[in-house]
Amino acid sequence: AQNTPEDDKLKKSMERVAHKILVLSGKGGVGKSTVAVNLAVALALEGKRVGLLDVDFHGPSIPKLLALEDRKPEVVGDAMLPVSMDYGMKVMSLGFLLNRKDDAVIWRGPMKYGAIKQLLTDVHWGDLDYLVIDFPPGTGDEPLSVAQLIPDADGAVVVTTPQDVSTIDVSKSVTFCRHLKIPVLGIVENMSGLICPHCSKLIELFKQGGGEEMAKRMDVPFLGRIPIDPKIVQSSDEGRPFIFHHKDTEAAAAFRQVVQPL
Ligand code: ADP
């Protein structure tokens, strides 16, 4: 098929991004956006030039997680500039483009697809080492059409929880990637054990090692476990990236470990 001018624009813009990393999950609520934010900040703290793109229609939560709700991307000609923030990070979210919080939910498929395509083609990221993309949850039409818009993704990080490891959600995400020829960079087991708010020791809540076992069985890397830490919830509510404000915690160390192979 002939490339449209839009396709060429998208290709050009994405050529300036060295690594495109998709953050996926089999379903909502497993901490996908939390992981995406903390991985992006972890990379930025290593001195990398990082963009964070939020295309989760089910509640684009990145602006809230980073206290950027009052910001808007600047429009220059027919291009949009992502919102610049601390750590040299650049952020673009569907949330910036919606007037009301629940706008996205009522959009129909083609509108969603059009909005995401526009986000990808019209946003000028400049040169980036990493673009971390917070995907819509699941393996349905939405993540599928977004994935098809991103040329040459480096791969996907699949976020799960210990409870969901036993369900077919993870394997669905891995199959989704294989179908699209997107390498699986690895599985992250989030909410794995609980950090006691009193003594900061790790309390094992569920059977351990499920994510690792699942990774082995599906022949994909295991990137690590992130414990439940009440400070993560608190940081999210305050819009302050956990990994920056609580550097000395076990969970922050876990996030730093996850980005090592990326
Ligand atoms: P998703 O993007 O998968 O829907 P979110 O990232 O929005 O999930 O996380 C859902 C909720 O769980 C949020 O309130 C978030 O603060 C919390 N959360 C995520 N990961 C952790 C964790 N490791 N410890 C404590 N709370 C967490």
SS3 107: coil
pLDDT over 80 (residue 54):
yes
Candidate of 23, 33, 34 to mutate for ligand 1, largest count of ligand atoms within 8 Å of Cβ:
34
Structural domains in the chain plus CATH codes: 5-240+247-259 (3.40.50.300)
Residues in contact with ligand 1 (CB, 6 Å cut-off):
25, 28-34, 61, 190-191, 226, 228-229, 232-233, 236
Output the pLDDT for position 104: 58
Q: For the residues of 161-213, what is the DSSP string, one character each?
A: -HHHHTSSHHHHHHHHHHHTT--EEEEEEEEEEEE-TTT--EE--S-TTHHHH
Atom number in ligand 1 closest to CA 56 = 2
pLDDT over 70 (residue 105):
no
**pLDDT over 90 percentage in the chain:** 65
pLDDT over 80 (residue 135):
yes
Pick the closest to residue 32 from 152, 173, 126 (CA basis).
173
pLDDT tens-place string over residues 110-133:
777 788 888 888 999 999 999 999
Nearest CA to ligand 1 atom 5: 31
Model confidence at 99, in pLDDT bands (50, 70, 90)? low
Output the pLDDT for position 197: 83
Asked if residue 96 lies in contact with residue 64, where contact means CB atoms within 8 angstroms, the answer is no
Residue showing tokens 């699209």: 180
SS3 11: helix
Rounded to whole angstroms, the Cα distance separating 118 from 98 reads 14
Please list the helix, strand and coil fractions of the chain in percent, rounded to the nearest 5, in that order: 40, 25, 35
Residues in contact with 243: Cβ distance below 8 Å, sequence separation at least 6, in sequence order: 38, 41, 42, 45, 252, 255, 256
CA dihedral sign of residues 254, 150, 25, 154: negative
Q: Give φ, ψ of 87 to 5 degrees.
A: 60, 15
Q: How far is the CA of 28 from the centre of ligand 1 (A)?
A: 10
The helices-and-strands tally (H runs, E runs) of the chain is 12, 11
SS3 123: strand
Pick the closest to residue 135 from 93, 170, 163, 174 (CA basis).
93
Candidate of 58, 190, 236 to mutate for ligand 1, largest count of ligand atoms within 8 Å of Cβ:
236
Model confidence at 1, in pLDDT bands (50, 70, 90)? low
**Strand 83-84 and strand 90-93: pairing?**
antiparallel
Model confidence at 182, in pLDDT bands (50, 70, 90)? very high
pLDDT over 70 (residue 106):
no
Which letter, b or e, does each residue of 152-163 get, where b requires 16 or more Cβ atoms within 10 Å of its Cβ? ebbbbbbbbbbe
Average pLDDT over the chain reads 90
E strand or H helix that includes residue 106: none
Output the pLDDT for position 166: 67
DSSP state of 30: S
ipTM of the complex: 0.99
Kindly report the number of other CB atoms within 10 A of residue 102's CB atom.
Answer: 8
